[in-house]
């Protein structure tokens, strides 16, 4: 007869066939198109704020020229950008982005609506300084126009910084890398 194992001896349990730890979820970065939609929402919010703030500025004395060529319209637009308006626009834009992204919400209104969070590489909140660096393509664009043609150069650099999001594996623009920020989806 075959020997039967002693039923009184304690055998160790078999090893588990599955790991009871929750799986690590991959980080979902916010891509270019999602960020573009968030930016559009933010621009609508800023336009509403600007319409209210602009009530304190005097209206333009002359209406835009009709039937004018592009160069005259461009010059009219540049002439309408008074330094006080550009400073106000710069400060409002900076405050909107930097203060919200460094807050406990870690996102602007547009980003919150789309489930995007701005954080440091390790997931913590951005400092106000880092959020200001991250937002430079949005507010320095306004400030650049105070100095005339420098605005065009700043606008070009801002576009390059933002479009670079589409070509980065972590979906970071140059401005994100400068600030040590990543944008993730919830």
Digit-coded pLDDT (tens) for 146-183: 666 677 777 788 888 878 888 888 898 888 998 999 99
pLDDT value of position 19: 64
pLDDT at 3: 56
The pLDDT, as a whole number, for residue 4 is: 56
Please give the Cα distance from 71 to 64 (Å, whole number): 12
pTM: 0.73
Q: What pLDDT shows up at residue 82? A: 73
Give yes or no for residue 139 having a pLDDT over 60.
yes
Nearest one of 101, 89, 33 to 109, comparing CA atoms:
101
Contact predicate 184/30, CB 8 Å: yes
Average pLDDT over all residues of the chain = 82
- The answer to whether 141 and 121 are in contact (CB under 8 A) is no
Q: What is the pLDDT of residue 2?
A: 57
* d(C-alpha 96, C-alpha 42), whole Å: 9
Residue 70 has pLDDT above 70, yes or no: yes
- For residue 88, what pLDDT is reported? 85
Chain segment 110-126, per-residue pLDDT in tens: 999 999 999 998 889 99
Strand partners, 183: 118
The C-alpha atoms of residue 119 and residue 98 are separated, in whole angstroms, by 12
Using alpha carbons, select from 165, 157, 108, 106 the residue that is nearest to residue 136: 157
Q: Is there a contact between 90 and 154 (Cβ–Cβ < 8 Å)?
A: no
Any idea what DSSP says for residue 165?
G
């Amino acid at each position: 007869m075959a020997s039967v194992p002693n039923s009184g001896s304690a055998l160790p349990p078999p090893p588990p066939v599955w790991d009871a730890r929750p799986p690590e979820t991959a980080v979902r970065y916010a891509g270019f198109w999602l960020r573009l939609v968030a930016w559009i929402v933010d621009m609508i919010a800023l336009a509403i704020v600007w319409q209210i703030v602009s009530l304190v500025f005097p209206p333009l004395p002359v209406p835009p020229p009709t039937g004018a060529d592009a160069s005259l319209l461009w010059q009219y637009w540049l002439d309408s950008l008074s330094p006080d308006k550009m400073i106000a626009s710069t400060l409002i834009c900076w405050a909107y982005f930097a203060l919200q992204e460094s807050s406990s919400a870690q996102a602007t209104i547009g980003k919150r609506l789309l489930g995007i969070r701005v954080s440091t590489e390790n997931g913590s909140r951005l400092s106000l300084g880092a959020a200001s660096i991250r937002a430079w393509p949005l507010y320095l664009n306004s400030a650049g126009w105070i100095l005339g043609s420098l605005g065009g150069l700043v606008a070009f650099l801002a576009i390059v910084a933002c479009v670079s999001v589409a070509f980065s594996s972590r979906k970071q623009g140059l401005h994100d890398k400068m600030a040590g920020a990543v944008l993730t989806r919830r």
